[in-house]
Structure 1
Amino acid sequence: MDADIDERRSRRSRRTPRERGERDATGLPWRSTSLIAVAVVVGTGFAARNQFDREALDAAGRGLLLLGAVLLLFRHRRPVAVVFAVAAVTLGYLAAGYPYGPVFVLVAVACFAAVVHGHRTAAWWAVGLLWAGHLLLAHWLHRWLPPAGDGAAPWGQELPAAAVAVAVLAASEAVRGRREQGAQRRAERVAAERRRADAERLRIARELHDVLAHSISVINVQAGVGLALLDSDPEQARSALTTIKAASKEALGEVRQVLDTLRAPGDAPRTPAPGLAHLPELVEQAAAAGLAVTVSTSGTPDVLPPGADLAAFRILQEALTNVVRHSGSRTARIQIQHGSGRLDLTVDDDGPATGTEAGGSGNGLAGMRERAGALGGSIEAGARPSGGFRVRAVLPLRSEATP
């Protein structure tokens, strides 16, 4: 549906303002064609006053001029047929001995339309046949055609005529080239907008996955604890329900923050995005799910760019969520190493893997790799030689304003 709308908009944008304003409900360029017809008929009438050696412009001659103009009504629908038909009408007009003049404007407009619509070969053929026909009429067949007693035309007039024809075709090619470049730029803008929209949808999907996966994992574990202890230890069950309430409230807040960016794109978020400053809260949530987490930091902490700060938090969040879901270990270790222009994150657990269905989407590791890759970093995830599982992320700390 969106692609169809974009295509219709693209087609409308490729039409020139003149084309958009000159066509009525029939889709034919009545306005411009009427102006051309009037200009050709009136202009030929003035030109005929000084051409005493040609036939007088009578009703038949004006009819041929009007016929050529009427054919131009269909120059956008049938450009090839129109350019050949107009060339034939013009050649018939010249064969009848009528005065030279703006009649060649009809051919120029038809050729322009054919070239602009991508039929340059047809336009060149039509002009070439018209020029060849004119040579036959002016230099060999003139003695059998009106006006009576007409002599051969001078050869010197043929070169300027050919130059004008080539100039018309060259101008048509130039306009066509500009239109194609404009259409290409518009197509590139549409493609870029689609890529940005896809990237934004991916970002939002990743955010929602990370928020919901962690919070629902905590809720799932605590719900199991609450159900198991509901009769034997009501106080512990109440504590589990309290944790569920807190986790769900926090999840709703983060989901609302993500959805607010959809409702009002471009507006500043109402709450700051989470970062490593929120790591103690993440550790508390993991503890509420029964996972003891230790955090060690080395190196000199730098002020992290917002994108890297958010990515680091989400990677740690997803790694801890995977431990809660898939590991039999109830402990995890986070190591944060600040280096020169980079941040190393390591999350270890001692395993073993539970092998049970955790109810996840299976996109956690893929999401972490996408976050790290977006910053030019990398993710390594796999079993440790001594047992358990390790997730290691390396994030460059380039400024987000740096190209």
Structure 2
Amino acid sequence: MVNGVLRLRGRSWGRRADGMVAALVFVLVGLGSLRSLIGSGTESRAVAALGWFLITVVCGALCFIRRRPVAVAVFVLAATIGYYILGIDGPLMGAFVVALYRVAAEGHLRAAVGLASTAVIGTGIGTLSGSEDVNGVALFMLAGWLVAVVATGWLRNSRQAYTLERERWAATEERLRIARELHDVVGHHLSLINVQSTAALRRLTRHPERGTAQAEEALEAVRESSGEALRELRATLGLLRRAGEDAPTAPVAGLERMGDLVASARVAGLDVRTRVSGEPAPLPTEVDLAAYRIIQESLTNVTRHAGAGEVVISVEYGPGLVTVEVADDGRGPAEYTSGNGITGMRERARALGGDLTAGPRAGGGFAVRAGLPHGNGANR
């Protein structure tokens, strides 16, 4: 809807701009043609009146140049040729130059070249037929001017196309970034909720007299996971808030909150151990978030697909690089490498200039390892 409003506003402004250009051209051409009214022009009154009529309709046609650039330019050229065939000495060629520029600027390069060639050939025919108004030098200069007009219009079209493509690319990157955030947040917590609620139902079904306490524990974990999912979802959707709205107050996800991921995975039945090596240092926000999300998504995959019992999370701080690894003793990657999880993690790492590998371990199980480069300082 917003794009539609912007397009309507752009069209409205474009029409007003075309009207102002048409008015300006009319004034300039009219000033150059005043001698047919107040001077001792060689044209008869009838020819002078016809000339002013052509000036008026040509400049009026320029009001529609943005809607039908080629058709308007063809009409302007035809009317201009008729204008000069009548023997009128006036600057109406300026209106054709404006129309020619718009044709090239709208991306109709072949039409612009054809119109410019027609104008040069027509002027050359007039010169050869004995017209004294245009000589060879003037014809050469006219050709150069028209080539410059076409080149300038085409350059403007190319710059607009390049800018539009960059905007589309930026919008696509932003959409993919938000999609990754939503996938990681929602997928992780919903997976834990699914595992925990399934465990609660199984305990109540198999052991109704003894499973109540265990089911209550699992349902409490479900409540905590759903609450955390809502908080992170609100923080992620805060990226889409309008200008002037308050920023989300939830803490930014990072390696400092890795304990929350470990606790959730343990509630889901995994034996999780962590290893931290190197000197922990503040990380730039985007690197800290990427490391957290990679660990989160890896634990989600393990919980949903791997059938693992033990998981080891390793974090290694090095100079200009932080490396995270999630290794499990499950049945391997066959169940989940076809989804979007590993692809999204790899995109996160590459977006920061890092890399990510995912594959089976030599001793069995599966491992995800990512190296994320960063600067010396934090960017918080």
* Residue number among 297, 313, 329 corresponding to 1:350 in the alignment: 329
CA distance in 1 between partners of 2:140 and 2:8 (Å): 35
Equivalent residue for 1:289, pick from 257, 264, 268: 268
Structure 1 SS opposite 2:34: helix
Partner of 2:216: 238
Pairs within 5 Å for 1:68-87: 68-72=54-58, 73-74=60-61, 76=65, 77-87=71-81
Residue 367 of structure 1 pairs with residue 344 of structure 2 = yes
Q: What is the rounded CA distance, in whole Å, between the counterparts of 1:130 and 1:186 in structure 2?
A: 33
Which position in structure 2 is the counterpart of 1:52?
A: none
Deviation per CA, 1:10-62: give whole Å up to 9, x if none: 7677x59652436xxxxxx4x4565467435522345527xxxxx5x432231
Q: CA deviation at 1:2?
A: 8.2
Q: Give the 3 Å change call, closer, same or farther, for CA 117–8 of structure 1 in structure 2.
A: farther
> Paired residue for 1:117?
103
Percent identity (aligned): 34
1:333 and 1:348 in contact (8 A); partners too: yes
8 Å CA contact 2:332, 2:360 repeated in 1 = no
Q: What CA distance in whole angstroms lies between the structure 1 residues aligned with 2:284 and 2:360?
A: 31
Structure 1: which amino acid aligns with 2:356? I
Q: Superposition pairs for residues 119-198 of structure 1, below 5 Å?
A: 119-134=112-127, 136-137=129-130, 159=135, 162-164=136-138, 166-167=140-141, 170-198=144-172
Task: Check the 8 A contact 1:40/1:65 in 2, yes or no.
Answer: no
What is the CA distance between 1:386 and its match in structure 2?
A: 1.3
Any gaps of 5 or more consecutive residues in structure 1?
A: 23-28, 50-54, 95-102, 139-152
Q: Confirm whether residue 223 of structure 1 aligns to residue 197 of structure 2.
A: yes
How far the C-alpha of 1:245 sits from its partner, in A, is 0.6
Q: CA deviation at 1:92?
A: 3.0
Is the contact made by 2:29 and 2:91 (CA closer than 8 Å) also made in structure 1? no
Q: Which amino acid aligns with 1:379?
A: L
Residue equivalent to 1:147: none
Is 1:91–1:130's contact at 8 Å kept on the other side of the alignment?
A: no
- Work out whether 1:106 is the aligned partner of 2:99: no
- The alpha carbon displacement at 1:318 in A equals 1.1
3-state SS, counterpart of residue 269 of structure 2? coil
- Distance in 1, Cα, partners of 2:148 & 2:261: 63
2: distance between equivalents of 1:3 and 1:191? 16
Q: Which residue of 2 aligns with 1:60?
A: 46
Alignment match of 2:31 (pick from 34, 39, 44): 39
Change (3 A) 1:258 1:18: closer
Please say if 1:260 is aligned against 2:252. Answer: no
Which deviations, in whole Å up to 9, do the C-alpha atoms of 1:290-341 show, x marking residues without a partner? 1111111112222211111111111111111111112222211112222222
Question: Could you give the per-residue CA deviations for residues 320-372 of structure 1, whole angstroms, max 9, x where no partner exists?
Answer: 1111112222211112222222122222111235988x9x9921111111111
Matched to 2:196, the amino acid is Q
Structure 1 residue 113 displacement after superposition: 2.5
Task: Trace 1:309-320 onto structure 2 (pairs within 5 A).
Answer: 309-320=288-299
Equivalent residues of 2:188, 2:297 under 8 A apart: yes
Change (3 A) 1:121 1:329: closer
Gaps of at least 5 residues in structure 2 are: 66-70, 105-111
Give the match's secondary structure for 2:349: helix
Decide whether aligned partners of structure 1 residues 74 and 158 sit closer, same or farther in structure 2, where only a CA change above 3 A counts: closer
Letter in structure 2 aligned against 1:376: G
Q: In structure 2, do the counterparts of structure 1 residues 110 and 400 end up closer, same or farther at CA, with 3 Å as the change threshold?
A: farther
AA aligned to 2:163 is R
Q: CA deviation at 1:254?
A: 0.4
**Residues 81-112 of structure 1, C-alpha deviations (whole Å, 9 max, x = no match):** 43244223322326xxxxxxxx2312343344
Q: Following the alignment from structure 1 to structure 2, what is the Cα–Cα distance between the partners of residues 224 and 131?
A: 87
Change (3 A) 1:3 1:179: farther
Does residue 271 (structure 1) correspond to residue 258 (structure 2)? The answer is no
TM-score by length of 1: 0.76
For the residues of structure 1 that align with 2:20 and 2:212, how far apart are their CA atoms?
78
Q: Which moved more, 1:247-256 or 1:296-305?
A: 296-305
- Distance across 2 between alignment mates of 1:279 and 1:69: 75
Distance (Å, rounded) in 2 between the aligned partners of 1:158 and 1:210: 72
Change (3 A) 1:317 1:158: closer
Verify: 1:249 aligned to 2:227, yes or no: yes
State the one-letter code of the partner of 2:359. Answer: G
The alpha-carbon deviation at position 278 of structure 1 amounts to 0.6
Report if aligned partners of 1:337, 1:343 keep a CA contact under 8 Å in 2. yes
For 2:101 and 2:235, locate their aligned partners in 1 and report how far apart those are by CA, in whole Å: 54
Q: CA RMSD in A?
A: 3.5
Of the structure 1 ranges 251-260 and 333-342, higher mean CA displacement relative to structure 2 is found in 333-342
Q: How does 1:4-19 map to 2 (within 5 A)?
A: 15=14, 18-19=17-18
For 2:215, the aligned partner's letter is: A
Partner of 2:372: 395
Equivalent residue number for residue 26 of structure 1: none
Maintained 8 Å contact 1:215/1:248 = yes
